[in-house]
Amino acid sequence: MSELSVSTIVAFMTYVAIVLSIGFYAYLKTKNATDYFLGGRELSPVVSAISAGASDMSGWVLLGLPGYAYLAGLEAAWISIGLVIGVAANWMLVAKRLRIYSALLDDAVTLPTFLQRRFADKTPWLKVIASISILLFFLFYVGSGLIAGGKLFNEVFGFDYHIAVFVSVTLILVYTLFGGFLAVSWTDVFQGLLMLLALACVPVMVISQAGGGGEFASGINQTNPELLNMFTDANGDALGLMVIVSTMGWGLGYFGQPHILARFMALRSASETSKAASIGVFWAAVCYLLAIMVGLSGVAYLPDLLPDSEKVFIALTGLIFHPFIAGILLAAILAAIMSTVDSQLLVCSSSLAEDLYPLMVKKQLTTENRLQIGRIAVVVLALCATLLAMQPDGKVLDVVSYAWAGLGASVGPAILVSLYWKKMTSSGALAGIVVGGLTVIGWSQLEGGIFDLYALVPGFVLSLITIGLVSVLDKKPENQIVASQFNLMEEQVRSASIK
């Protein structure tokens, strides 16, 4: 669908107008830094669950995952299984405790600040290293979203790829700058529902046009029957244990994704996490299943192999639907991109404004200063990510997998253990973040043998081991005070569980 279509343009512009309107309304509701970075901690369970899912599912769910299923078939199901387990574990193990702990620790609105206050760390190193880890890996994550945006506008409207990237980042910046967390969360709900609609429509239409599920499967069998076997690859070779562990290992990354954890911190009540969890897990399971169905639909429906497998969703919508309907469905890709990139930019800006900048200028900032610095940071980070996205041949899923592993292995174990182990220390947290992050960076540069294992898995395990060893060896006197503080927070957790 490379030619401009008036109907498609109208559909796109309608979507953009709705998103910008939501952003402007959120701007009117944003009064201070807590509003801008966490929405005043007043998110309902529905908004929290769907916005968490939408911010998680960037363009890779409409481009990367269908493209993987298009080439590998049901092998892609292992990623989905791991991710759904990860979503459930994140809600059950982290959500309630993080909401309570972060509020009690002098209203900590960022993960680095939470860690620093959790361990009463008087040095800046834990906060600084955690912030740098988030910023480093999030730049790649935001870059992956802009790559997806560039592919979308290039394919649909024929824009030059580089211009298309700038169009994507401009749209995202406009409403993120003004509305902050409320704009991001409210638009994520709208965009998440649009994503779900788009993912459902494409396979339903393909199956109906094929004459039912039997004809659909027959079309795949004619291409390659091995695509319908989740225990073999596309060549019919049995999947090894390393492949299954690597793909399912994606689920470990959820514990360290700040843009998702921010939704937990923003819940209006810790007692509502169970309701939000049910919605979030169900929503994620349906979306991942449908994304794989889109990829398989491409195998059954498209006559020729696509040169870029990540454009299978775009190709199918262009062939099946009227241009106006196709425009609405293709806007879902933009929705997926925007719902993640806006959240990530906001997390990065909050880390700069709340954690790093005050240390650099060595003074406390006023509410107005924090808002101003946060908005400037959004622009600077978006421009840096844009530079990373200037390679049109980049694969969305590859870039996402690196950023996901980096965040999951560095920040994830530190957050998870800090919520359950009162003997954990600031030195243990710092060492775990460093070891996890460096493991991912180093492991990703190697290949062959054990190094074919997804870097998140060894990074997560080594980070956990490091946290345990260093914390046990750390005998600082203030650790006893921190342990007492942990007991007080645990009482709040038990109280919230009773309600």
**Residue 435 domain-assigned (yes or no):** no
- Distance, in Å, from the CA atom of 125 to the CA atom of 123, rounded to the nearest integer, reads 6
Do the domain assignments include residue 56? yes
Does the pLDDT of residue 458 top 90, yes or no? yes
| Share of the chain residues as helix, strand and coil, in percent rounded to the nearest 5 | 80, 0, 15
46 within some domain: yes
Task: Kindly state the tokens that stand for 149.
Answer: 């945006």
Distance between CA atoms of residues 55 and 77, nearest Å: 21
pLDDT on residue 94? 92
Whole-prediction pTM: 0.82
Per-residue DSSP letter, 353: I
Query: What rounded mean pLDDT belongs to the chain?
Result: 80
Residue 340 lies in a domain: yes
Partnered with residue 232 across adjacent β-strands are 238
* Residue 311: closest CA among 192, 76, 154: 154
Identify the domain containing residue 269 by its residue range.
6-397
Decide if 196 is inside a domain: yes
Nearest of 143, 147, 146 to residue 135 by alpha carbon: 143
414 lies in some domain: no
DSSP state of 352: I
Give the CATH number, domain containing residue 186: 1.20.1730.10
Provide the number of structural domains found in the chain: 1
Q: What percent of the chain has pLDDT over 90?
A: 18
Give tens-digit pLDDT for 109-126.
788 888 988 888 888 889
Tell me 356's DSSP state: I
- Over residues 375-394, the pLDDT tens digits come to 777 777 778 878 877 776 66
What DSSP assignment string belongs to 271-335? Answer: GGHHHHHHHHHHHHHHHHHHHHHHHHHHHHH-SS--SSGGGHHHHHHHHHS-HHHHHHHHHHHHH
> Taking the C-alpha atoms of 226, 230, 234 and 239 in order, what is their torsion angle to the nearest 10 degrees?
-120
The model's confidence at residue 34, banded by pLDDT at 50, 70 and 90, is low
Model confidence at 467: pLDDT above 90: yes
Return the closest-CA partner of residue 373 out of 145, 103, 180. Answer: 180
- Identify which of 352, 344, 349 has the alpha carbon closest to the alpha carbon of residue 375: 349
Residue 422 lies in a domain: no
Q: Is residue 451 part of a domain?
A: no
SS3 assignment, position 232: strand
Q: What is the DSSP string of 31-98?
A: -SHHHHHHGGG-B-HHHHHHHHHHHHS-GGGTTHHHHHHHHHGGGGHHHHHHHHHHHHHHIIIIIHHH
If you search the block for the tokens 């409210």, which residue do you land on? 186
